[in-house]
């Protein structure tokens, strides 16, 4: 048994290439965490040829992405699991990653989801505290993630807080941003982080302001804001008081007719320990009245497709035909999409198709046709998108095998990535979002239908086909 210490993903990849080149079976290799204490028994990576010729063998792009993410996992056996999978891909089963029931593949998929969820929680629950030293202002935060994700998440904070000097401390590693570069250091204990500052009062005031006792669901709140994070969140200090005061506040709000602005979260079922499925969500969505769009729409148009779909397509809203039939993308835009699917080598039956808004928003034309007055599409506003957003969040949580999220058009892109992006600048390339590290933006097929000339129509159609091909290759 040969023992080799591993520093990080790049180190593992270099060592793994050398081991594959030397035909070293996984059973003869022990890849261990390089904690500085392995030198007595470790044989060392330098004893093995390191293959830098990437053309010597190839593995699916999906495996590389998977391995990079799993490299941040805390499981000490992750490097052995990755090497065993790489060996099997190279020597035994080239299509191993398609076998979802395989024990190694299932474990890797689970670990990847755990890292992505932990990264999402870190983005949501890091709270900076102001520190002044020698007349300069710094911001310091303490966080205790489940996995070693500091280097994965730090670039997000450097973009979000580019104009601040900040440090994030964790037990494993720390990172500092000086408005130019990220610098990493060793981990620290909680006692080395600042205790409080005046910013905490601002957090408490903000949280108390947005807290709506008429809509509070304690179980769901604890799921999205796990109790183990509360000790590091200043707003957590007032949660107990807010919950205790909730019944009185609800009575007061009823008297004053305020605070009951609903969203889809009020219609998503609470089923205890029972698993929520797409069928459950679809049934409950038929009763959704979170916004006024349900009043003029024929029906709720929920997503369609298999629960094990690897590619999810998110549009804006159902159109006239979709509203009548009750299925997304069956009208003129759907026919364009089907053409693009065929050209890109995708099977509609294997995809999950849904919309940001589930009801058809329209106005009635004053001009009559032989079939009556036409219903003209209207763009949903920000409130309608916000109200409907929890339905897609719930759909995504049920699609556990989803690898790629395709945003069709500006509305879907903005709902997933936030405002400030141009579709033309974003389309055609994978972007990491809170939903998926392979989120891709492309044209909505209706934009192709509205193209002002045949040349523009053909150009956008070819771009849509190309983007869908990229999505297909990404899973």
Which CATH number fits the domain that encloses residue 444? Answer: 3.40.470.10
Residue 58 in this model has a pLDDT that exceeds 90: no
At 355 the three-state DSSP class reads strand
pLDDT digits (tens, 9 = 90+) for 330-360: 999 999 999 999 999 999 999 999 999 999 9
Q: How high is the pLDDT of residue 232?
A: 61
Q: What is the maximal distance between C-alpha atoms in the chain? A: 87
Q: Determine, yes or no, domain membership for 222.
A: yes
- Per-residue pLDDT band at 446 (split at 50, 70, 90): very high
DSSP string, 361-388: -EEEEEEEETTEEEEEE----HHHHHHH
In terms of domains, do 210 and 299 share one? no
At 92 the three-state DSSP class reads coil
Q: Determine, yes or no, domain membership for 411.
A: yes
Q: Determine, yes or no, domain membership for 44.
A: yes
Q: How high is the pLDDT of residue 6?
A: 93
Q: How high is the pLDDT of residue 472?
A: 93
The total number of structural domains in the chain stands at 4
Mean pLDDT of the chain: 82
Residue in 309, 348, 334, 328 with CA at minimum distance from that of residue 436: 309
The encoded tokens of residue 71 equal 């490299």
Q: How high is the pLDDT of residue 273?
A: 44
Q: How high is the pLDDT of residue 290?
A: 87
Pairing of strands 129-133, 136-142: antiparallel
Q: Determine, yes or no, domain membership for 232.
A: yes
User: What sign does the dihedral 361-364-365-369 (CA atoms) show?
Assistant: positive
Higher pLDDT, 172 or 136: 172
Distance, in Å, from the CA atom of 32 to the CA atom of 9, rounded to the nearest integer, reads: 12
In terms of domains, do 311 and 184 share one? no
Highest averaged pLDDT of the listed ranges 55-59, 258-262, 362-366, 416-420: 416-420
Q: 375: which residues sit within 8 A by CB, 6+ positions away? A: 320, 323, 360, 362, 363, 364, 365
Tell me what the mean pLDDT of segment 423-429 comes to: 91
Residue 133 in this model has a pLDDT that exceeds 80: no
Q: How high is the pLDDT of residue 159?
A: 86
The residue to which tokens 């190839």 are assigned: 58
Distance, in Å, from the CA atom of 293 to the CA atom of 299, rounded to the nearest integer, reads: 10
In terms of domains, do 54 and 134 share one? no
At 263 the three-state DSSP class reads coil
The residues facing 64 across adjacent strands are none
Residue in 133, 179, 141 with CA at minimum distance from that of residue 160: 179
Tell me what the mean pLDDT of segment 422-439 comes to: 90
Q: Determine, yes or no, domain membership for 261.
A: no
- Per-residue pLDDT band at 212 (split at 50, 70, 90): low
In terms of domains, do 57 and 157 share one? no
Angle, helices 9-21 vs 61-70, to 10°: value is 130
Q: Determine, yes or no, domain membership for 163.
A: yes
In terms of domains, do 362 and 426 share one? yes
Which of 170, 192, 214 is at the close of a domain?
192
Show the domain range for 369: 266-473
Q: 358: which residues sit within 8 A by CB, 6+ positions away? A: 285, 288, 300, 301, 302, 317, 318, 388, 391
Residue 107 in this model has a pLDDT that exceeds 50: yes
Q: Judge contact between 83 and 26, C-beta under 8 A.
A: yes
The encoded tokens of residue 309 equal 């779909």
Q: Which of 197-201, 323-327, 464-468 has the lowest mean pLDDT?
A: 197-201
In terms of domains, do 22 and 99 share one? yes
Distance, in Å, from the CA atom of 427 to the CA atom of 464, rounded to the nearest integer, reads: 9
At 405 the three-state DSSP class reads strand
pLDDT digits (tens, 9 = 90+) for 229-283: 556 655 555 556 656 666 665 555 444 444 445 788 878 765 444 568 899 899 9
Q: How high is the pLDDT of residue 163?
A: 83
In terms of domains, do 326 and 464 share one? yes
In terms of domains, do 416 and 273 share one? yes
Distance, in Å, from the CA atom of 188 to the CA atom of 175, rounded to the nearest integer, reads: 11
Q: 193: which residues sit within 8 A by CB, 6+ positions away? A: 129, 140, 141, 142, 169
Q: 230: which residues sit within 8 A by CB, 6+ positions away? A: 236, 239
In terms of domains, do 359 and 467 share one? yes
- The percent of residues above 90 in pLDDT, for the chain, comes to 48
Q: Which of 166-170, 370-374, 410-414 has the lowest mean pLDDT?
A: 370-374
Q: Determine, yes or no, domain membership for 91.
A: yes
Q: Which of 50-54, 330-334, 347-351, 416-420 has the lowest mean pLDDT?
A: 50-54
Distance, in Å, from the CA atom of 13 to the CA atom of 473, rounded to the nearest integer, reads: 22
Q: Give the dihedral of Cα atoms 103, 107, 113, 118; nearest 10 deg.
A: 160
Q: 383: which residues sit within 8 A by CB, 6+ positions away? A: 291
Q: Judge contact between 341 and 468, C-beta under 8 A.
A: yes
What is the DSSP secondary structure assignment for residue 64, as one 8-state letter? Answer: H
Q: How high is the pLDDT of residue 125?
A: 78
Q: Say whether pTM exceeds 0.95.
A: no
Q: Judge contact between 359 and 317, C-beta under 8 A.
A: yes
The residue to which tokens 């050209």 are assigned: 343
Q: How high is the pLDDT of residue 41?
A: 45
Residues written for the chain: 475
Q: 417: which residues sit within 8 A by CB, 6+ positions away? A: 407, 426, 431, 433, 439, 441
- Per-residue pLDDT band at 117 (split at 50, 70, 90): confident
- Per-residue pLDDT band at 38 (split at 50, 70, 90): very low
Which of 192, 208, 242 is at the close of a domain?
192
In terms of domains, do 248 and 280 share one? no
Which of 256, 280, 302 is at the close of a domain?
256
Q: How high is the pLDDT of residue 410?
A: 95
Tell me what the mean pLDDT of segment 159-188 comes to: 88
Higher pLDDT, 152 or 38: 152
The encoded tokens of residue 283 equal 């049934």
pLDDT digits (tens, 9 = 90+) for 60-93: 888 998 999 999 999 999 999 999 999 999 999 9
Residue 388 in this model has a pLDDT that exceeds 90: yes
Distance, in Å, from the CA atom of 67 to the CA atom of 72, rounded to the nearest integer, reads: 9
Q: How high is the pLDDT of residue 217?
A: 52
Pairing of strands 352-355, 182-186: unpaired
In terms of domains, do 250 and 285 share one? no
Q: Judge contact between 386 and 418, C-beta under 8 A.
A: no
User: What sign does the dihedral 87-91-94-98 (CA atoms) show?
Assistant: negative
In terms of domains, do 221 and 238 share one? yes
The encoded tokens of residue 362 equal 């329209």
């Amino acid at each position: 048994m040969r023992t080799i210490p591993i520093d990080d993903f790049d180190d593992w990849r270099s060592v793994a290439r050398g081991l594959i080149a030397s035909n070293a079976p996984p059973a003869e290799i022990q890849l261990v965490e390089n904690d500085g204490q392995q030198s007595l028994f470790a044989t060392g990576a330098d004893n093995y040829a390191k293959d830098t010729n990437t053309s010597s063998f190839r593995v699916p792009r999906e495996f590389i992405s998977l391995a990079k993410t799993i490299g941040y996992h805390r499981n000490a056996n992750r490097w052995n699991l990755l090497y065993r999978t790489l060996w099997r891909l190279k020597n035994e089963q080239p299509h191993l990653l398609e076998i979802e029931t395989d024990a190694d593949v299932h474990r890797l998929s689970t670990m990847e989801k755990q890292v992505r969820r932990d990264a999402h929680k870190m983005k949501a629950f890091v709270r900076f505290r102001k520190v002044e030293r020698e007349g300069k202002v710094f911001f310091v935060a303490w966080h205790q993630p489940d996995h070693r994700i500091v280097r994965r998440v730090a670039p997000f904070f450097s973009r979000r807080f580019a104009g601040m000097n900040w440090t994030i401390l964790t037990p494993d590693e720390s990172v500092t941003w000086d408005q130019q570069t990220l610098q990493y250091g060793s981990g620290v204990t909680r006692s080395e982080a600042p205790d409080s500052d005046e910013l905490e009062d601002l957090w408490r005031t903000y949280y108390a302001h947005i807290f709506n006792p008429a809509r509070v669901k304690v179980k769901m709140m604890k799921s999205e804001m796990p109790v183990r994070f509360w000790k590091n969140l200043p707003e957590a200090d007032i949660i107990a008081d807010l919950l205790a005061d909730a019944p009185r506040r609800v009575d007061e709000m009823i008297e004053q007719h305020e605070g009951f602005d609903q969203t889809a979260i009020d219609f998503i079922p609470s089923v205890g320990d029972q698993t929520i499925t797409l069928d459950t969500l679809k049934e409950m969505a038929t009763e959704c009245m979170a916004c006024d769009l349900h009043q003029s729409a024929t029906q709720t148009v929920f997503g369609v497709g298999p629960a094990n779909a690897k590619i999810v397509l998110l549009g804006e809203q159902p159109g006239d035909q979709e509203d009548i039939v009750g299925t997304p993308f069956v009208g003129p835009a759907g026919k364009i999409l089907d053409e693009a699917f065929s050209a890109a080598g995708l099977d509609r039956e294997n995809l999950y198709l849904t919309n940001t808004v589930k009801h058809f928003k329209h106005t009635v034309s004053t001009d009559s046709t032989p079939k009556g007055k036409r219903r003209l599409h209207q763009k949903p506003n920000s409130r309608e998108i916000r109200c409907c957003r929890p339905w897609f969040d719930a759909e995504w949580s049920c699609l556990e095998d989803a690898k790629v999220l395709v945003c069709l058009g500006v509305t879907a892109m903005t709902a997933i990535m936030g405002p400030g992006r141009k579709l033309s600048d974003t389309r055609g390339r994978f972007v990491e979002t809170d939903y998926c590290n392979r989120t891709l933006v492309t044209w909505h097929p209706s934009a192709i239908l509205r193209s002002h000339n045949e040349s523009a129509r053909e150009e956008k159609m070819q771009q849509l086909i190309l983007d869908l091909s990229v999505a297909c290759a990404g899973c």
